[in-house]
Structure 1
Amino acid sequence: MKTKPFHCLLLPVLLLFCFGGVFYTYYKPIISNAQVSTEECLNIVRNTFIQTINQTSNLNIPLNQQPLVTKPAVMEENQEHHANDIIMLMWSWPFGVVFNGTACSSQFGIKGCQITDDRSQYDEAHGVMFHHRDISGELTNLHNMPRHPHQKWVWLNMESPSNAQKLPGLDGLFNLTSNYRRDSDVWVPVGKIVEIPEKDKTFEIPPKDKLVCWIVSNWNPNFERVKYFNELSKHIKIEAYGSAFNRRINKEDYIKTVTGCKFYLGFENSVHKDYFTEKVFKPLMFGTVPVVLGTSRENYEQFIPADSFIHVDDFKSPQELAEHLTFLDKNPKVYEQYFNWRRHFIATHSVFAIEQTCRSCEYIRNYKGYRVFKDLTKWYWG
């Protein structure tokens, strides 16, 4: 296999997409069915997300590849408007972060989408995006608002049912769903495995100085992942980071840390069909083998190459898993087989809310039929 410095292949892509996902994950407020996130927590998420995006402007990334802005401007002044454009009204910007108005065209090749937060355009809007976390106090008003026959209300939520507050009054309110689940109307997974151009089919496993790593801030002794970690750590050394271990990882060190690990514990905080997050896609992007705990192996394999990851369910116990990881550490030729998929594919990470909005715009342009989601609560929370 030809070699090429790892950072030369992936760094320009990773710098743009990874930081927002990292801090969205490790600083986000956790919502249970009985608890709504506080304003303070939401401010932390928003401020961290904004700081992360602002830093990309110093990395020689072309302006048209920077899809987020933090100023209150809604549309780019030089964006062309046409009579047949689809107008997407953001009822509220997710976590208060504003999209660049040209993101759909520059990032996804989806043209003819106007993104605005100007509610005076409500009557003209073809689609209205509602972020689940932002509507808890507005449901009564939303039910009293007239929805025009041509208009689609899109329910946006990328949290699992365990981490999303179940709200009364969702049924019959929305026309479309945009979610990580494959059976949502506008499916946008957290990440994807995509084919790489012929000229880029080179890969070098980055140098490793750590065996097993885990970065976690949301620590709950009742979580299955915490129980499994506690048992696994009895049998193998794990470099654990995050606020749960008083070893916070800053933005600069995150990629370096994960890249230097042979294995990364991609343990989800809840188990639901189709629910796997950047905890698996980021290690795949950085040249590390994820060890996953979450939905079934069969479900993972519908999205991710079977030989690119290790599933805890493949082993009878954490001790048996530890023995397998130790074996791979001592047998580099066997370990390297976990990267055979990189001859043909790379892993990518979606930019939260931007892609959902653009894909929704595309959907609304292509599908004009009548649609109302009558049983959203049952579909999502069961």
Structure 2
Amino acid sequence: MLSKTSPGFLQRFVAMVFLLLCFGSIFFIYYKPNLSSWLCPEVTWSFDHICSDTCLQIIQNENIMKIGVNNSCVVDYDLVKQKLINDVVEEHNRESQEHTLVLMWAWPFGKLVNVDSCKSLYGISGCVFTDDRRLYNEANAVIFHHRDIQGDLQNLAKMPRPPRQKWVWMNMESPDNSVKLSNWDLFNLTSSYRQDSDVWVPYGRIVDVSKEDVAFQIPTKSKLVCWIVSNWNPDFRRVKYYNEFSQHINIKAYGRHFSRYVNNKDYPKIISSCKFYLSFENSIHKDYITEKLFIPMMLGTIPVVLGPSRENYEKFIPSDSFIHVDDFKSPQELAEHLKALDQNQEMYEHYFSWRKDFVAQRTDFGREHACRICDHVTRDKGYRVFKNLDKWYWP
């Protein structure tokens, strides 16, 4: 069901008003036949056609005919439509000050945000999302996904901004995979995987086990070590490590680089069938710990991580839930450790002790960002400008 403050509700409200105008016109024509020229000439005198065809066309078609002289409509429906929209927005702002209107400059990752999902998933109420840039001046916040604006900064810098409006810079890619911004102090808030962002949204998290969760059981294993990778660069640390590591232990490798494409259906099956999974990040940065870690944890596989320091990982996951490559002097030493765990079931199962109390979750990109940004903007009305984004994110 649409919220009374959602963009869909506003559109339906406008549609209802137009339908009422149509019925009023019919009533007027019925009693004043000499004024029939007030209607568009293509409209028949059929009661149904007048409202079902022309009025709906007026609502849906933004390029409807303007005021003409003889055989054209005398009502500028575009202006009427825009006035009705403005009236609804003003009424919304006047009667529902507790609601926050968030303009998505572009839907992050192409995912639309349902108003009700913020409440049901995160307990966040009072958020209205739209991608209609005509509502720019009414928006409490505008979310800019880095990938969608990195080539459009010149135009953004020239845009006037309402004094109380927040511009939020959002990014989930590492600095190595993001076009660097230089001296652009455009934004008020940041939202990323970095824990020191204004609105922190990690790639995943460890949460308490609910009473409804079934007791965890380690899946049946048929492979020792697995890796699924497509982004292959000989200069990546993970590629160099793999090349040496694979000389000392058998690794089942999948992905575009190995010409063994894995579809969405087989992806979880493969990972859960492996005792260990190589959760190797493509770049090494503070807090850059991606779904490559959380998906194996969700599927009952021990992640072998290559990324930021062990200390960084331990901020977010239990210390005995993963194996870090930096804990070993060489790839060969790591290989020997994994082989020993393969032969000792008790030692192997120790890495799943955390599953008695916790489960791993993966972040719903785009949706969670939008909801938590809205919540932050709603609660924090203070003045804020984020200076030197380039020095913070691209050290």
Q: TM-score, normalization: structure 2?
A: 0.76
- Structure 1 residue 75 displacement after superposition: 4.3
Which residue does 1:105 correspond to in 2? 119
Residue 307 of structure 1 aligns to a residue in which SS?
coil
Q: Is contact 1:283–1:289 with CA below 8 Å preserved after alignment?
A: yes
Q: Is contact 2:103–2:130 with CA below 8 Å preserved after alignment?
A: yes
Letter in structure 1 aligned against 2:104 = M
Superposed, which structure 2 residues align to 1:261-272 within 5 Å? 261-272=274-285
Q: 1:280 aligns with which of 277, 284, 293?
A: 293
Q: Distance in 2 between matches of 1:181 and 1:331?
A: 37
Which residue does 2:246 correspond to in 1? 233
Letter in structure 1 aligned against 2:294 = F
Which residue does 1:159 correspond to in 2? 173
Is the counterpart of residue 362 in structure 1 residue 395 in structure 2?
A: no
Q: Is contact 2:100–2:126 with CA below 8 Å preserved after alignment?
A: yes
Q: Distance in 1 between matches of 2:136 and 2:183?
A: 21
Which residue does 2:392 correspond to in 1? 379
Q: 1:116 aligns with which of 126, 130, 139?
A: 130
Q: Is contact 1:195–1:346 with CA below 8 Å preserved after alignment?
A: yes
Which residue does 1:184 correspond to in 2? 197
Moved over 6 A (4+): 78-81
Which residue does 1:4 correspond to in 2? none
Cα displacement string for residues 112-169 of structure 1 (whole angstroms, at most 9, x for unaligned residues): 0001001111111001000001112321121111111211000000001011110335
* Residues 1:308 and 1:242: Cα distance change in structure 2 (over 3 Å): same
Q: Distance in 1 between matches of 2:273 and 2:175?
A: 33
- Structure 1 residue 332 displacement after superposition: 0.7
Letter in structure 2 aligned against 1:215 = I
- Structure 1 residue 201 displacement after superposition: 6.2
Which residue does 2:98 correspond to in 1? 84
Q: Is contact 1:87–1:127 with CA below 8 Å preserved after alignment?
A: yes
Is the counterpart of residue 337 in structure 1 residue 346 in structure 2?
A: no
Is the counterpart of residue 96 in structure 1 residue 110 in structure 2?
A: yes
Q: Distance in 2 between matches of 1:160 and 1:333?
A: 37
Cα displacement string for residues 197-228 of structure 1 (whole angstroms, at most 9, x for unaligned residues): 23426110010011000000000011000010
- If asked which structure has higher relative contact order (CA below 8 Å, sep 6+), I would say 1
Cα displacement string for residues 356-378 of structure 1 (whole angstroms, at most 9, x for unaligned residues): 11101000111111000111010
Which residue does 1:313 correspond to in 2? 326
Unaligned runs of 5+ in 1: 1-62, 65-73
Which residue does 2:23 correspond to in 1? none
Q: Distance in 1 between matches of 2:150 and 2:210?
A: 44
Which residue does 1:148 correspond to in 2? 162
Q: Distance in 1 between matches of 2:363 and 2:239?
A: 27
Cα displacement string for residues 16-42 of structure 1 (whole angstroms, at most 9, x for unaligned residues): xxxxxxxxxxxxxxxxxxxxxxxxxxx
Cα displacement string for residues 244-273 of structure 1 (whole angstroms, at most 9, x for unaligned residues): 100010011001000000000000010001
Which residue does 2:258 correspond to in 1? 245
* Residues 1:76 and 1:340: Cα distance change in structure 2 (over 3 Å): farther
Q: Distance in 1 between matches of 2:356 and 2:297?
A: 13
Which residue does 1:22 correspond to in 2? none
Q: Distance in 2 between matches of 1:328 and 1:75?
A: 55
Which residue does 2:227 correspond to in 1? 214
Q: Distance in 2 between matches of 1:76 and 1:336?
A: 51
Identity across the alignment (%)? 60
Residue 115 of structure 2 aligns to a residue in which SS?
coil
- Structure 1 residue 106 displacement after superposition: 2.3
Q: Distance in 1 between matches of 2:334 and 2:132?
A: 53
Q: Is contact 1:193–1:348 with CA below 8 Å preserved after alignment?
A: yes
How many residue pairs match? The answer is 310
Residue 303 of structure 1 aligns to a residue in which SS?
coil
Q: Distance in 2 between matches of 1:359 and 1:94?
A: 14
- Structure 1 residue 84 displacement after superposition: 2.3
- Structure 1 residue 77 displacement after superposition: 4.1
